[in-house]
Structure 1
Amino acid sequence: MSSLSRFAFLLTCVAACRPTPGPSVTTPAATGVASEAAPGERAGPAGAPDGKREVVETTVFHLHKFLQRIGVERDTYTRDGAGQLEAKASFGFQDRGSQVTLAASFRLGPDGAPRDYQAWGKTSRMSSIDERVLVEADGTFMHSRVGEAPVRGTPSGAYVVASGYAPLLAQDLLLRAWVARGRPATMTLLPAATVTIESRGKQEHEVEGKRVILEHVSVRGLVWGREDAWLDDAGRLVAVVTRDAEFDHFEAAREGFVALLPELVSRAGADGVAWLSEVGQAAARGPAGAVALVGADLVDGTGRPPVRDAVVVYDGDKIVAAGPRASTPIPPGASTLDVSGSTILPGLWDMHAHVQQVEQGAAYLAAGVTTVRDLGNILEFVTGIRDTLDAGKGLGPRILVSGIVDGDGPRALGTVRIQRREDIAPVLDRLKRAGCLEVKLYSSVAPSLVRPIAEAAHRRGMRVVGHVPEGMSVLEAIAAGYDGVSHVQFLFDPLFAPGEAGKLSREARGRRIADADVKAPPLAQVVRAFAAKKVMLDDTLALYELMTHTAEENARREPGLAKLPRELRGLFDGSSPAQAELDGAIFSKYLAVVGELHRAGVPIVAGTDISVPGHSLHRELELYVEAGLSPMAAIQAATSVPARVMGMQAQVGTVEPGKRADLVLVAGDPIADIRNVRKVTAVVTRGKMYDPAALWRIAEFTP
């Protein structure tokens, strides 16, 4: 899930597809609506012959984000006198006060072969699309997209078209084509990609008192990782569980099937974990039973100097011994692995994660992240994944769940809401029963409710963390009972009088931050408030760096960008050259205040808000060193400090006998050069050793 300031991304795959029109499905809410372009929109693809047009099918999809209904897509299929079919989509939703609208049009010949596809509009609050695929009479095609050079080519065999997750019409046409072509394992996705579709079986569901059979399919190649879709017996799309262009949970269901979405989201999570466990077997390596890692240096996370030529012995999920080779006996029967030239670290933590899809589990482990703190999700989805992993039936890091709560208003997110005092007890009791360790407050919670929420949460043994609600300053949030704040940007609120920031230009707001003295009031007061109450900060510096530097500079700073799967390329456009100087000055102040907080004794924990999955956790540690932390302190910010603030220091966070065997091996010495933390050679968790390269390939990254 995105923060309010998360930079958006736009998937780059496009295509055209051959539909298999089913029986007419006309809904009263949709009839005649989507067959005309909205005011200000252009007409559909050029070249459709004139003549009488007949509407042959109209479909409505209800759009959801985190299971909250946010909008509608209306799809209309029309056929002209020559038998040529045209399908149009009008897609729109409201997301936290922003309107997102998209239109798309497909023209197909009398034989159903694609001729022309266009899509234009917005795919998220911060991303847009304007592209076309035109198929010539000789079978060649041209793909054009604003800002990119045209691509010409000849498709090999049957092909399809789609622009990422939206519109649903493209996915409906794609899946109809898949059924009509005999359910091939793969299909060509123009201009130069492949989509993979697999049936995951059929299940019976109850819809409005009637039993219906739906087929569950997984789709890979439209967004990063698996989408889950359900088809009716005619092969038409009924529902989809996916991610949008801000990497948030996104769900859609055809009219009449909306009530099924919670059940389908839960099924998607469970099936995804099972699939990842199946394919993840190839990534496991190393002997079973007791294993002695011999010859590496040991950075145990306690802050003590590294142990040279160390031995670490683990048996299953427990560390048996750790220390210098000369004084640490290896138990009889233990398998010995020579890991000379490596450094052994505790398993890393990402303290600001959102586990939106199962592939993230493989990416986290590949980066050495063995524990994540999920700071906002569909509760049933993330707890289902957590419980499956804890039962030893999946592949991924341990998940600590924070239940996200918002208030009311146009910017509210999710379906768990506290709008009045009477809501507090039942909501917190629900989160407690679900095993949430924290309550994450989002931006629309009424400031007057923060203190009673915090008091009620503390009585239940739960921490209170998150965004600073609108109309409240970070100092007021701390005074009201916050245990932790997410995102460094909130620390700069006191630079502005109440209500002032919204009246200033972007440049004026930025200049106020860039010119601030972090050692003078009011920022010095913020540092003192954090230090006095030991309030934790998960700053998400790696995210803000990607937002405040140009794309070229981001590529230099974050090598993980070059290893992204195709669907995530172009994820972070960064700052424009005109804004980069000011944005870079703002980011420098973010670094400076994190350094001041650390020197004041404030617990700083590494968190990424996803950003570049896996890789950004390494970048967080590099940025901490730039902010003035020692490499040892930076490593502790992703190991022992998170364990301590979460009350789990007796179980995990350091490499000591009796603790959990979450271990990372890296090539070289990260104390000498923190960048060596990126060189992960092996990961140990839940009693197994994994090959990072194999895990990266499962996550569709370049190792």
Structure 2
Amino acid sequence: MKKVYLTFIVVLLSPFACLAQYTIYKLENKIGIERALIGNNGNQLINIMANDRGAATSLAASFLHVGKQIKYTSTGNTSRFTTEHIDTAFVADGSFPLGINGSIKMHELFIGEWVTAGMPAFITSALTKNKVTVGVLGKMPDAVNGGSLTALAINNGLDEILWINEKNEAVFLSGCDAESDKREVIDDRYAARFKLLSQKSDDYLIQRYLEENKGLGQHFDIIAITGANIIDLDDAGKIKPNSMLLLKDGKIAYVGALNKEMIPTRAHIIDAAGKFLLPGLWNMHAHLFHPEYLKRELLSGVTTVRDMGNEFDLITKLKSIADSTGVPAPHILAAGLLDGDSPNALGATRGSNEAGIKANIKKYHDAGFNQIKIYSYIKKGDFNTIVKEARSYNMDVVGHLPNGYTIGYFIDNGMNSISHIHYFMNNMKFTGGDLTSANKPLIDKLLEKKIYLDPTLNVYALTGDKKVDYYRRFVKLFFDSGVPIVAGTDNEGTVAQEVQNYVKAGLSLLDAIRAATIVPATMMKMNNESGSIEQGKKADILLLNKNPLEDITALNDIDTVIKGQLIFKK
């Protein structure tokens, strides 16, 4: 690092050095800055500093010309949980070391190389050797420098939108960071244009998703599934062999014994002999920060998602397209995010005074949100106002245990569901060796108030958390005591993996599957229309190659996903 700092001083002393500054946002909330020092010789020094929900992150990168080569280093945080340490050299011959550190200046340099190379369809990554594609999307007037701004789509694994001015300077970057969260960076000169650029970037991302995935699923008004083994979740997991499903206009019109005479002549027929049928899975804790996440969920067997906190405009647009018949997307339910006044808060929507709480909950309700999610810096008094206001719209209050409080107050005063099992760690008693007896008052309270738990075991199991075995014990304890569990990933892994974690915790295979189907449908008061394979319910169906009641990993072995009138063949 000393060498980098010495180089920084040399460039700083250059009479032609200049400084570019950008502001970093997460979910439209300012969290940090990026600064780039630019030397007269084309050298660049980049520094990124942020505070993401109380986690201080920093990264230093250098881009230095050494003879015919360019030496690139990058050391520091790429998110709250990830770091990078890069020290490499490359020749600028149509390649570039674009990484995942989120630097808007590095994107600007990448585009410079792309322009020099004649604006080809892709530039090769000097880090991974993968193709990084670039496409021109459109323009808008440049209110700062005159002329126009150009929107580019850059795909280094996931679409990002970069806006450049006529000097090829990067002015706005929209994408997802290394922990899959929505992130924007803007040139401070363009700060007043943030909202416009953010919304237009979302529109382009959605437009590209729809264009690139329009052939992903096949559309049929009538679908007949024949010879299937239907798993009846309401009848102890009983297998109904050689069965038939008739799906009409996105609903289950018939479920029962195979009867080919009932099949209309224009029906699309799926021979499901040897296959096992479940209702589509639910992901009860997701954050749809990018349109591509819709496909990720759908192809993993999820036909209904509860978004647990997002940018208002983005999730509203995604909900709208998901409701369209031919769009490859799961059904989307949404919890509107509220956090308190704190430099560590998440998102831009606050729940910290009565007037603001009322206005924000009304906004969420009127936009079709189902619930209100509280986050880590909500105060007790504001929580009470949130519950009262949400109930006036028949909206449940769900989410985190706010910092500095015990769980009992929120259970007693209107919390309907608690996310993340680790919040129970400091509220559990371990005396006497019998967890059930030691924690009977807490368990009784959870049952009395009909609290649902959204444990997100993937978050701990897939990130190497050493307490994961404790968390699995808690899940088994609460489940055995009658507290309903709903499966959610918090964008870590798949629902199938979350369900497998419940089996590792000691739940039966059937109960683990129910936590991702009928139980969440019941929680959301939608069990009369979804969550099981019954006549009149939504035609959300999962065809598996193996029986998940014999081997829970069968949830990974998907043959076909059906969502309404769309068939997705894996």
Which TM-score band (shorter chain)?
Answer: over 0.9
SS in 1 for 2:303: strand
Match of 1:436 among 353, 357, 369: 369
In structure 2, list runs of 5 or more residues that go unmatched.
Answer: none
**Distance in 2 of aligned mates of 1:194 and 1:445:** 44
Partner of 1:622: 500
Contact 2:543/2:561 (CA < 8 Å) preserved in 1? yes
Contact 2:73/2:87 (CA < 8 Å) preserved in 1? yes
Is 1:117 aligned with 2:72?
yes
Contact 1:102/1:167 (CA < 8 Å) preserved in 2? no
Q: CA deviation at 1:159?
A: 1.0
Match of 2:515 among 625, 637, 654: 637
Cα 1:336–1:422, aligned 2, differ >3 Å: closer, same or farther?
A: closer
Contact 1:119/1:131 (CA < 8 Å) preserved in 2? yes
Cα 1:86–1:531, aligned 2, differ >3 Å: closer, same or farther?
A: same
- After TM superposition, list the pairs within 5 Å mapping 1:325-344 onto structure 2: 325=258, 329-344=262-277
**Distance in 2 of aligned mates of 1:169 and 1:525:** 55
For residues 125-144 of structure 1, the C-alpha deviation after alignment (integer angstroms, 9 at most, x for no partner) is 33333221124xxx6xxxxx
Partner of 1:520: 437
Cα 1:259–1:188, aligned 2, differ >3 Å: closer, same or farther?
A: same
Residue identity opposite 2:407 in structure 1: V
Match of 1:646 among 524, 536, 557: 524
Contact 1:466/1:484 (CA < 8 Å) preserved in 2? yes
Partner of 1:363: 296
**Distance in 2 of aligned mates of 1:103 and 1:49:** 16
**Distance in 1 of aligned mates of 2:2 and 2:289:** 33
SS in 2 for 1:306: strand
SS in 2 for 1:124: coil
Contact 1:531/1:597 (CA < 8 Å) preserved in 2? no
Question: Which protein has greater RCO, CA pairs closer than 8 Å, 6+ apart?
Answer: 1
Cα 1:50–1:245, aligned 2, differ >3 Å: closer, same or farther?
A: closer
Residue identity opposite 1:531 in structure 2: L
Contact 2:214/2:327 (CA < 8 Å) preserved in 1? no
**Distance in 1 of aligned mates of 2:30 and 2:262:** 60
Cα 1:264–1:517, aligned 2, differ >3 Å: closer, same or farther?
A: farther
Is 1:220 aligned with 2:220?
no
Q: CA deviation at 1:72?
A: 1.4
Q: CA deviation at 1:366?
A: 1.0
Residue identity opposite 1:292 in structure 2: A
Partner of 1:509: none
Contact 2:11/2:39 (CA < 8 Å) preserved in 1? no
SS in 2 for 1:283: coil
Contact 1:293/1:339 (CA < 8 Å) preserved in 2? yes
Partner of 2:424: 491
Q: CA deviation at 1:661?
A: 0.8
Contact 2:337/2:349 (CA < 8 Å) preserved in 1? yes
Match of 2:485 among 572, 595, 604: 604
Is 1:87 aligned with 2:44?
yes
For residues 398-451 of structure 1, the C-alpha deviation after alignment (integer angstroms, 9 at most, x for no partner) is 111111100012321111012223322112111112211111000100122212
Contact 2:98/2:127 (CA < 8 Å) preserved in 1? no
SS in 2 for 1:412: coil
Cα 1:424–1:191, aligned 2, differ >3 Å: closer, same or farther?
A: closer
Contact 1:303/1:636 (CA < 8 Å) preserved in 2? no
Partner of 1:60: 21
Cα 1:399–1:41, aligned 2, differ >3 Å: closer, same or farther?
A: farther
| Worse-matched range after superposition: 312-321 or 126-135 | 126-135
Residue identity opposite 1:161 in structure 2: P
Cα 1:688–1:327, aligned 2, differ >3 Å: closer, same or farther?
A: closer
Match of 2:87 among 129, 132, 138: 132
Cα 1:393–1:239, aligned 2, differ >3 Å: closer, same or farther?
A: farther
Is 1:186 aligned with 2:67?
no
**Distance in 2 of aligned mates of 1:596 and 1:328:** 49
Partner of 1:399: 332
| Worse-matched range after superposition: 626-635 or 433-442 | 626-635
**Distance in 2 of aligned mates of 1:322 and 1:587:** 40
For residues 73-120 of structure 1, the C-alpha deviation after alignment (integer angstroms, 9 at most, x for no partner) is 1112112xxxx421111211122223212111111268xx64211112
Aligned-pair identity in percent equals 27
Q: CA deviation at 1:205?
A: 4.4
**Distance in 2 of aligned mates of 1:354 and 1:408:** 22
| Worse-matched range after superposition: 231-240 or 414-423 | 414-423
Partner of 1:373: 306
Q: CA deviation at 1:317?
A: 1.1
For residues 460-503 of structure 1, the C-alpha deviation after alignment (integer angstroms, 9 at most, x for no partner) is 1111000011122112111010010001111222248xxxxxxx
**Distance in 1 of aligned mates of 2:481 and 2:123:** 57
Contact 1:486/1:539 (CA < 8 Å) preserved in 2? yes
Residue identity opposite 1:219 in structure 2: I
In structure 1, list runs of 5 or more residues that go unmatched.
Answer: 1-39, 140-154, 497-511, 548-573, 576-582, 693-703
- After TM superposition, list the pairs within 5 Å mapping 1:564-579 onto structure 2: 574=464
**Distance in 2 of aligned mates of 1:327 and 1:167:** 59
Partner of 1:591: 472
Cα 1:201–1:68, aligned 2, differ >3 Å: closer, same or farther?
A: same
**Distance in 2 of aligned mates of 1:490 and 1:520:** 20
Cα 1:41–1:65, aligned 2, differ >3 Å: closer, same or farther?
A: farther
Partner of 1:273: 206
Residue identity opposite 1:445 in structure 2: I
Match of 1:349 among 282, 291, 297: 282
For residues 176-230 of structure 1, the C-alpha deviation after alignment (integer angstroms, 9 at most, x for no partner) is 221222211111111332343333432324747x875211111111xx4111111
Match of 1:656 among 523, 531, 534: 534
Is 1:668 aligned with 2:546?
yes
**Distance in 2 of aligned mates of 1:45 and 1:681:** 58
SS in 2 for 1:299: strand
Q: CA deviation at 1:332?
A: 4.6
Is 1:171 aligned with 2:52?
no
**Distance in 2 of aligned mates of 1:328 and 1:534:** 46
Aligned residues: 569
SS in 2 for 1:271: helix
Partner of 1:105: 62
**Distance in 2 of aligned mates of 1:413 and 1:201:** 30
Q: CA deviation at 1:662?
A: 0.8
Is 1:290 aligned with 2:222?
yes
Residue identity opposite 2:244 in structure 1: V
What RMSD over aligned residues (CA atoms) do the two structures have, in Å? 2.6
Length-normalised TM-score, structure 2: 0.93
Contact 1:322/1:328 (CA < 8 Å) preserved in 2? no
Partner of 1:162: 98
Is 1:422 aligned with 2:300?
no
**Distance in 2 of aligned mates of 1:361 and 1:121:** 31
Length-normalised TM-score, structure 1: 0.76
Q: CA deviation at 1:258?
A: 2.1
